[in-house]
Amino acid sequence: PGGVRGNLIVRQAGLEGRRTPWLVSHLDVAAPGAPQEWKGDPFKLRLEGALIHGRGGEDNHQAVVVGLLLLQALRETGIKPPLNLRLLFCPGALTGYDMNIEHLLRQKPGVFAPGDLVLLMDYGSENGSFIEVAEKTDLWFKVTVSGREGHAGSPQEAVNAFTAAAALVRELEALEAAFPAQNPLFSPPQSTFTPTLAENSSKG
């Protein structure tokens, strides 16, 4: 109600307590898109055979559930892990990284200790054999294209913002040649330049 979305940390003490593995997941989900493309409510879990349908079911609530099931198993079996265990549920990843670990580092710099192990449970293969060791960061920038309306019968009297925007998108392809460096740690290994969002146009 206050407009604040906090990070939630769940702690499980270990026998030794010298190091702490962190299992990190995020609570927000991507926008559902067009409602008519869904068979049901995108925010209501739906089972079809062995498949789970619903926004966030894979990204990233499967990681939230896995972490909680792990804690439940430890409590029910009475097993105390040799190391401390921490679950970190972040409020946002798809909507901004500055609310997550970056926020914790600013506000509570002692929450992580040297030697801690961090696993971001966000992406992998179906059988769990893939571990991603590096991820590229991103740079967002916004371009506003202005034009002047005109009648379709006399386009020479208008300034076509749509044509200008299309030309700009094509020009972005040249950036890949301007920044050709590659690093095999990443997939894909090169920098990518992709227009991802067209906001509603407005008259003014």
Q: Which residues pair with 21 in a beta bridge?
A: 117
Q: Which pair of tokens denotes residue 12?
A: 């499980």
Q: Is the pLDDT of residue 166 over 60?
A: yes
Whether the CB-CB separation of 29 and 54 falls below 8 Å is answered with no
The percent of residues above 90 in pLDDT, for the chain, comes to 46
DSSP 179: S
Mean pLDDT for the chain overall: 88
32-45: average pLDDT: 90
d(CA 59, CA 38): 17
What is the number of H-type helices and E-type strands within the chain? 4, 6
Q: Which residues pair with 88 in a beta bridge?
A: 9, 24
- How many alpha carbons lie under 13 Å from residue 23 in its C-beta half-sphere? 21
How many residues appear in the chain?
A: 204
What is the pTM (predicted TM-score) of this model?
0.73
26-46: average pLDDT: 90
Which pLDDT belongs to residue 6?
Answer: 84
Q: Which pair of tokens denotes residue 27?
A: 């609570």
Which pLDDT belongs to residue 204?
Answer: 52
In terms of Cα–Cα distance, which of 26, 10, 13 is closest to 87?
Answer: 10
In terms of Cα–Cα distance, which of 102, 71, 68 is closest to 84?
Answer: 71
85-101: average pLDDT: 80
Q: State the pLDDT confidence band at 96, using cuts at 50, 70 and 90.
A: low
Element (H, E) at 11: strand 8-12
Q: What pLDDT digit, counting tens, does each position of 43-63 carry?
A: 999 999 988 899 998 888 989
Whether the CB-CB separation of 34 and 109 falls below 8 Å is answered with no
The percent of residues above 70 in pLDDT, for the chain, comes to 96
Which pLDDT belongs to residue 8?
Answer: 92
Q: State the pLDDT confidence band at 131, using cuts at 50, 70 and 90.
A: confident
Q: Report helix, strand or coil for 62.
A: helix
Q: State the pLDDT confidence band at 203, using cuts at 50, 70 and 90.
A: low
Looking at residue 120, its amino acid is L
Q: State the pLDDT confidence band at 97, using cuts at 50, 70 and 90.
A: low
Alpha helices by DSSP H, listed for the chain, are 61-77, 101-107, 161-172, 174-178
